[in-house]
Amino acid sequence: MSADAAADLFRSTFDARPDGVWSAPGRVNLIGEHTDYNSGLCLPIALPQRTFAAVRRRDDDLVRVVSAQGDGVVEVTLEDVGAGHPAGWAAYVAGVPWALRRAGHTVGGLDVAVDGRVPLGAGLSSSAALECAVAAGASDLHDLGLLDTASDRAALAAVCVEAENTVAQAPTGGMDQSAALLAEAGRALLLDCRDHGTTQVPFDLSAHDLALLVMDTRAEHALVDGQYAERRESCEQAARELGVTSLREVAVDDLDGQLAALSTDLLRHRARHIVTEIERVRQTVQALRHNDFRTVGDLFVESHASMRDDFEISVAELDTAVEAALAAGALGARMTGGGFGGSAIALVPANRTEAATEAVEAAFAARGFSAPDCFVVTASASAHRDR
């Protein structure tokens, strides 16, 4: 068990026992991609795969971190944490106490040993899982109470977003941290990123003889390489040109007529993805409430086409995974997360998961891609203390 591995790593590195071990999950987003920073809607679930952080409170301002997946100990004092520092994965740890202080909380340093079991670079939010596991530990050890209620957890998610945007310098939108801190087992989390409202939507596919298959393409994705930021800037420019505060304000009726006011075709495509995707989230939630999984599958397919053709964030590996899963009997499939690599998901009859996996593997082999990693997931629990 990874809580043990994190605690063992802590003892062997720092020659002491941790005060406790906390964990937070990765996520897949069912639908609603790149909508979070457009004040839109999205619908993630928490994954069974988690990141574990063994943590000890310090009374000075030092942060020391070691990871089973990293290379040696990184040390930094909170005074030295800031934009781009420390670099690399340690930013997602040291950024958390730094951002807690910026939000007005009294926190000191931490010793942290991490065992991350959310696949890295797979678009499954290993970074948010790391931030939120550390944040859960910092909140408990400094008596902040930020795991107590949903609104406390939302405030803690905002702290983690600040750490990611400023210290790690990834201009992400907040869905992943909300999923890690607010999602519930057996439910999908409907996030309204305009008023920060959350609704738990029942999501138990096994009761309907269905399964959710994650297809990690192993085409590595990154949120700090400029493409994500470029999409975000295009959306902000489109909103400015339309005279609205965000693309959430654009109605889906007569969309092409409204988008004619934009200065370029590129902006029209980007904005069309966002406005139609927000509408697809609404329709998916309705369909889930009626156990209408055929419609959910159709919406997945439409969403993927929109990301491939309008938002242009898919890659050949993601398209291949989606097409192979559909040909093998999936009700629907789509890429999930930021794009440019990472993972796709497929809604599959429970007795077809092996056939779908084999079909995806065969399609990848035929195209000369590295072997994908396919696995079934269920909606799991948010961040908590393990011991």
CB of 96 to ligand GAF, least distance (A): 16
Region binding ligand GAF by CB under 6 A among candidate stretches 86-94, 171-179, 257-265, 361-369: 171-179
Q: Least distance in Å: CB of 255 to ligand GAF?
A: 20
171 contributes a contact to ligand GAF by CB under 6 A: no
Interface map 96-135 toward ligand GAF (x if CB under 6 A): -----------------------------x----------
Asked whether position 174 contacts ligand GAF by CB under 6 A, the answer is: yes
The DSSP call for residue 85 is B
**Alpha helix positions (H), the chain:** 2-14, 91-102, 126-141, 150-162, 175-182, 227-242, 255-259, 265-289, 293-309, 316-327, 353-366
Question: Looking at beta carbons only, is 31 or 93 nearer to ligand GAF?
Answer: 31
- Residue from the set 66, 135, 175, 346 that interacts with ligand GAF by CB under 6 A: 175
Looking at the Cβ atoms of 363 and 377, the one nearer to ligand GAF is 377
Q: Does 172 bind ligand GAF (CB under 6 A)?
A: yes
Q: How far is the CB of 43 from ligand GAF (least distance, A)?
A: 10
The CA distance from 276 to 268, in Å, is: 12
Which one, 125 or 139, has the nearer CB to ligand GAF? 125
Nearer to ligand GAF, 122 or 287 (CB): 122
> Whose Cβ is closer to ligand GAF: residue 110's or residue 281's?
281
- In DSSP notation, 337-387 reads SS-SSSEEEEEEEGGGHHHHHHHHHHHHHHTTPPPPEEEEE-----SEE--
For residue 176, indicate whether it is catalytic.
Answer: yes
Nearest to 199 by CA among 183, 222, 218, 180: 183
What are the structure tokens assigned to 117, written together?
Answer: 């079991």
Does 173 engage in binding with ligand GAF (CB under 6 A)?
A: yes
> Which of 171, 291, 277, 275 minimizes the C-alpha distance to 222?
171
Looking only at the bridges linking them, the beta strands covering 62-67 and 110-116 are parallel
Residues 302-341 that bind ligand GAF (CB under 6 A): 337-338
Looking at residues 18 to 47 of the shown chain, list those that interact with ligand GAF (rule: CB under 6 A): 29, 33-34, 36-37
For ligand GAF, the closer of residues 41 and 360 by Cβ is 41
Q: Tell which one of 131, 140, 162, 176 touches ligand GAF (CB under 6 A).
A: 176
State the pairing for strand pair 187-192/41-42.
antiparallel
- Cα 286 to Cα 281, 289, 293, 305, 362: the distances in Å are 9, 5, 10, 21, 35
Give the C-alpha separation, 110 to 183, whole Å.
26
The active-site residue, picked from 111, 115, 176, 386, is 176
DSSP-assigned letters across all residues of 14-62: HSS--SEEEEEEEEEESS--S-GGGT-EE-EEEEEEEEEEEEEE-SSSE
Q: Is 157 in the site for ligand GAF (CB under 6 A)?
A: no
Binding residues vs ligand GAF (CB under 6 A): 29, 33-34, 36-37, 125, 172-176, 223, 337-338
As annotated, the active-site residues are 176
